[in-house]
Amino acid sequence: MKLAIASLVLGSAAAFSPSAFSGTALSAASNGATMDMRYKVAVIGGGPSGACAAEIFAQEKGIDTVLIERKMDNAKPCGGAIPLCMIGEFDIPESTVDRKVRKMKLISPTNVEVDIGDTLQPNEYIGMCRREILDKYLRDRAISYGAEAIQGLVTKIDVPEDHKETESQYTLHYQEFTAGSSAGVPKTMDVDLIVGADGANSRVAKAMDAGEYNFAIAFQERIKITEEQMSFYEEMAEMYVGDDVSPDFYGWVFPKYDHVGVGTGTVVNRPAIKQYQKAIRDRAGDKIAGGKIIKVEAHPIPEHYRPRRVQGRLALVGDAAGYVTKCSGEGIYFAAKSGRMAAEAIVKLMEGGKRLPTQTEIERTYIADYDKLYGPTYTVLDILQKVFYSNNGAREAFVELCNSKYVQQVTFDSYLYKRVQGNNPLDDLKLLGETIGCLIKGYAIATPDQEFSNPVESAKRL
Ligand SMILES: Cc1cc2nc3c(=O)[nH]c(=O)nc-3n(C[C@H](O)[C@H](O)[C@H](O)COP(=O)(O)OP(=O)(O)OC[C@H]3O[C@@H](n4cnc5c(N)ncnc54)[C@H](O)[C@@H]3O)c2cc1C
């Protein structure tokens, strides 16, 4: 039996853990008596996954919620593109959106350009955000609902051997940073349940032995260009494909309020990322020429789920779990959604803070529901990436295919609304024929991919 001593020492608002008590105290809590003894949930990481998880826990008054974020003004390296449905579903004000993209140029290895966007309705758009703005909004909302916010870097988590069978607590070790001081103060805190929302380099994943995933390295430069150049990107984003900009992904130019984000990514040849970044700058050419690089950012992007996403009462969400789609590299919506789904499932299982969920219960709710909802999306995008991003012939075919209004419609609908479209079988059949035709033509006109040798990185792939 353990008291949540750390919370007392730290003078935190949270008091005791019900697991510390038995008999009358616990039953008083179960009867709804107002005793200050609650289970404590720690959400580690204040990006979209953590903020959206914390806001759900914070609204359950029978649970104490603490949100630990290493840097409250963090500007996550990111293209910042979000689907339209996220705005409504997560009640995000449009003021967090820098630009509403309604047109896209898809540019092939031989610089064939296809304009997409004609199928969009006037009120439809892709939102372009700066992450420091979006994340802060979501985090502040969780705090306003009652989550206790700590600016701290979690460095270690003690996971008791018996955590799957008993209610023994987890001990967080973290460096707390207070305003005006760069030196962290070492602290500890005992908690009953942990949500790992701490991104691709997750400490929570490490603590729970969640296993590894392949990852891309993505690189982006924020480039301030002239107003005249910016007017081209007013409502426009660009995607470039070709082995010069990435052997297995795409390069992008995404507009922000007074600059553009120019970036690329790769899994298979990460050491060459700067060479690919130079190529995307060159491909964009005059449209960004003379621009001033105001920020350089890079970060890993997971390629697939981790082997384990729940252990005992430790659960992963967002990038920590590996929820980024192939092909598009989209992870913001899936982070927010998985954070919300995990928290909603766990809150329900906790029955107003009266009990703790088991690993099996979390797996049967959060994990099963998430996989059912999005498993097919990950699979389809994985296949598309393998087919269309693997060589210049296939990339040419991909760009040509995107000329089809039907392809544009289905692609935008799936991206913007995150629902699998009820496709038209006749159009699908026609599309299959067109795909084969485009692939044959693409292979005929394409320049072969440059060979590269990267045995060390390749061997590391899981
Ligand atoms: C260059 C690049 C471009 C991208 N472009 C897009 C895009 O256009 N659209 C899109 O949808 N996705 C994009 N992604 C993917 C997207 O950024 C992620 O999928 C998304 O940020 C995941 O959110 P998250 O909350 O799970 O993790 P994160 O956003 O990584 O948040 C994790 C948070 O945890 C904090 N943290 C980490 N470790 C600790 C610790 N030990 N203690 C305390 N706090 C900690 C971090 O400071 C951070 O705030 C891009 C990624 C990259 C790298």
Q: Give nearest CA residue, ligand 1 atom 5.
A: 79
| Residues 395 and 346 both lie in one domain | no
Q: Give nearest CA residue, ligand 1 atom 51.
A: 78
Pocket test for ligand 1, best of 130, 198, 245 (most atoms within 8 A of CB): 198
Q: Which of 343, 375, 407 is the last residue of a domain?
A: 375
Q: Cα separation of 117 and 436, whole Å?
A: 24
| pLDDT band for position 180 (cuts 50, 70, 90) | confident
| pLDDT band for position 446 (cuts 50, 70, 90) | confident
| pLDDT band for position 14 (cuts 50, 70, 90) | very low
Q: Is the CB of 277 within 6 Å of ligand 1?
A: no
**CATH classification at residue 455:** 3.30.9.10
| Residues 416 and 451 both lie in one domain | yes
User: What is the rounded average pLDDT for all residues in the chain?
Assistant: 89
Question: Of 121-125, 165-169, 180-184, 255-259, which range is least confident?
Answer: 180-184
Per-residue pLDDT, 250: 95
Pocket test for ligand 1, best of 131, 154, 208, 319 (most atoms within 8 A of CB): 319
| pLDDT band for position 246 (cuts 50, 70, 90) | very high
**CATH classification at residue 52:** 3.50.50.60
- Asked if residue 32 is part of any domain, the answer here is yes
| Residues 89 and 68 both lie in one domain | no
Residue 23 has pLDDT above 60, yes or no: no
% of the chain exceeding 70 in pLDDT: 89
Grouping H, G, I as helix, E, B as strand and the rest as coil, residue 33 is: coil
94 burial (CB, 10 Å; 0-12 / 13-18 / 19+) is exposed
- Asked if residue 385 is part of any domain, the answer here is no
- Asked if residue 255 is part of any domain, the answer here is yes
* Residue 444 domain boundaries: 81-129+215-302+391-462
% of the chain exceeding 90 in pLDDT: 73
| Residues 323 and 445 both lie in one domain | no
The one-letter amino acid at 379: T
| Residues 314 and 402 both lie in one domain | no
| Residues 56 and 175 both lie in one domain | yes
- Cα–ligand 1 centroid distance for 276 (angstroms): 22
Per-residue pLDDT, 164: 95
Residue-wise pLDDT for 93-124, tens only, equals 999 999 999 999 999 999 999 999 999 999 99
- Read off the pLDDT of each residue in 293-315 and give the average, rounded to a whole number: 97
Per-residue pLDDT, 418: 86
Q: Give nearest CA residue, ligand 1 atom 15.
A: 331
Per-residue pLDDT, 33: 41
| Number of domains, the chain | 2
Which of 134, 129, 100 has its CA nearest to residue 117?
A: 100
- Asked if residue 455 is part of any domain, the answer here is yes
| Residues 120 and 196 both lie in one domain | no
| Residues 201 and 63 both lie in one domain | yes
| pLDDT band for position 461 (cuts 50, 70, 90) | low
Q: What distances in angstroms separate CA 388 from CA 267, 344, 374, one per listed residue?
A: 15, 37, 21
Which of 196, 452, 181 has its CA nearest to residue 308?
A: 196
- Asked if residue 380 is part of any domain, the answer here is no
| Residues 50 and 90 both lie in one domain | no
Residue 181 has pLDDT above 90, yes or no: no
| pLDDT band for position 37 (cuts 50, 70, 90) | confident
- Read off the pLDDT of each residue in 286-304 and give the average, rounded to a whole number: 96
| Residues 236 and 90 both lie in one domain | yes
- Asked if residue 429 is part of any domain, the answer here is yes
Q: Is the CB of 330 within 6 Å of ligand 1?
A: yes
- Read off the pLDDT of each residue in 182-187 and give the average, rounded to a whole number: 90
* Tokens, residue 440: 């044959």
Residue-wise pLDDT for 42-88, tens only, equals 999 999 999 999 999 999 999 999 999 999 999 999 999 999 999 99
Which of 162-166, 423-427, 444-448 is the most confident on average?
162-166
